Structure 1
Amino acid sequence: MIHLGEYNTLEILRDTEPGLFLGDGDQDEVLLPNRYVPETFEIGDQLEVFVYLDNEERPVATTDQPYIKKGDFAVLRCNQVTKFGAFLDWGLVKELFCPFKEQAFKMKAGGWYLVYCYLDEDTQRLVASSKTNRFLDNKELTVSQFDEVDLIVSHPSEIGMNVIVNKRHLGLVFKDDIYKDISVGDRLKGIVKKVRRDNKLDISLSQIGYRNIEPSAAFILEVLKDNSGFLPLHDKSSPEVIKEQLQMSKKSFKKAIGSLYKDRLISIDANGITLIK
C-alpha cells in the first residue's frame, strides 16, 4: 500500500512520457513526474519518494523532502490566506492547506506557525492544524521520571513554556528551569523531571545530575525542593521521624543522603540537610 504524507520505497515499473510509474508490489501505482526522475535508472530499481496529492487531487511522488510529513510537527510559513483557509509553505510545489477551523489563531500571510500534519479522513487530503494540543494525550504516558525525551517547543504560558514530548504528550518547562533562549518550534532534548498525579509532565532542559542515582536519593531531592531546600533530618534522626516524613527506612535514608553528599548536592549539619544550589 502506498501511504500519503510519508516516504515510500517503490519500484520503477515503467518509463512513460509524463514520467516514471512506481509501484509497491500490491498493484498500487503512483507517478513520479519528469522533473524528479533521476538522470540514470533502470526498470526495477527502488526509489524512496514522498507521496502526496497534486493540484488535481491525484497521488503523486516527489524526491523533494518536505518540511513536515504526516504525524509530525513543524513551524511553517503562511504564504497566503483565502476564503477557504491558509496555505503553508512545506517545501513542495503544492502548498499545505490549513482550514480556518484548524487555526488556533487566525493566520496571516508571512506569519510562521507551529502545525501538525494529518490525513483528513473525510477528504483523504493532507492538512495542517495549529491546534496542536488536540493531537497530544497524557492519559496513558509512555515516559517515566528521569527519562530523556525529545521536545518541540510549543507555546508560552504564564509559568513557563509548553513543550511537545516525544510527539505524543504535553509537558511544561517552568520559567526557573529555562536558562537559555528558546523559541516556538525549537527541537531540544530534555529530561522528565516529575510526573504529577494528573499525568502532567514537568520537563527540565538540562541534564538532571541525580537522575542516575538510587530512587530514594532522587525522592529526597524532590522533597527538598518542595520544602525550600531544607529538611530537619540527618543521620541522627530517629527511624520513626524519617519514616513519618519520607516513608522510607533509616537505612535507605542514610544511604541516600550519603550519595547526595558525595555528589555535592546537599550539605549536612546538626540541624538537617540543605540543598546546595
Structure 2
Amino acid sequence: MYNGRRPERQKVAPKVASPSNLMAGMTLEMTVSRQTDIGYFLRSGKDEVFLHVNEARGHLHMDEEVEVFLYHDHENRLAATMALPYVAMGEYGWLEVVDISPRMGVFLDNGINKDLLLFIDDLPKLSDEWPRPQDRLLVALKRDKLGRLLAKPVTENEITQFSVPADARMKNKQVEATVYKVIQAGAFLLTEDDHILFIHRDEMDGRMRMGQTVSCRVSYVREDGRLNGSMKERKEVKYGEDADKLLEYLNSRNGAMPYTDNTEADIIREKFQMSKSSFKRALGKLMKERRVEQVDGWTKVIDNQPL
C-alpha cells in the first residue's frame, strides 16, 4: 500500500565507493567535498557518502561542515540527509504508524523521507492486535544483516529503567495509556506519566492492539509501583446504573413487574439487556435500600414511593 509519504523516484545518484566506517543510523558532522547536478559528496576521514539536493537544507558550499543522518535510500545505497530523525541509534521514542504491509510489517514516521520498518516478526501473531495508522509505537533502532535500519520494540528491561513508580493515590484515577505489548493474558501499557500498567483481558471492553491509546481506570496499585487497570466501570457504579434501569422500568409499569430473582436468565436478558447475575445484584441493591420488595412472583416498589 502506498501511503503518499514517500517521495517520487529521484534521479540516480553517482555511485560511491563502499564506505568502511560509515553505517546507517549514525548522526555525524561531514564536510562537503564536491558537488554534482543533483547533490553533494560528503566526506568523513577517508569515507564518502552522497547527499541528494532534496535532502539538503539550502545551497551548500565546498568545505562546509554539515550535520547529517545516514540511512539506506530506496535503492539500498547508504545516503545522507540533513533531516534529523525523531529517534536515532541508541535512543528510543514514540513513532507514529503511517502504513501497513501484511507481508512485511508496519512503517513508522521517523522524521526523514524514508519510513522506518518494524518487521512482522516483532509484531503480535494475530493481525487484529497489530497497530493501525496513527497509532504510536515505543521503539528503538537496529540494523539488519545488511546494515539497513529497522525499528525494534523497546524491551521490558529498558522500559523498567525509565518507568516511574506510582503511589497509592493513583487508585481509581482515570489515566491515558498506550499499549506497548500484547500477551495472551492481557496488555502492558505505559501511561502519560510513564507508569507501567497492565490490563487483564477480563478487564478489557474488546481486543486491544499494540500502539492503541486508551482511557482506563486504575484498579490496583502494586507494591512495586506498577498499576493494574480496567476499562470497565467500578462494580458499585455499574450496580447503580442497572438499579436505575430497573426502577425506570418499574415506573413505566405503575411500580410493579412480573420479574424477580427467580426469573429465567434468557427472559432477563431479553427484557433488560443484562445478565441474570447483574439483574440479581441490582435487585438486591434496591431491596437492601428498601425501595422494592418481591411478592408472589412480582417485584413491586414499596409503598409506591416516587421513583
Relative to the length of structure 2, the TM-score reads 0.45
* Greater helix content: 2
Relative to the length of structure 1, the TM-score reads 0.50
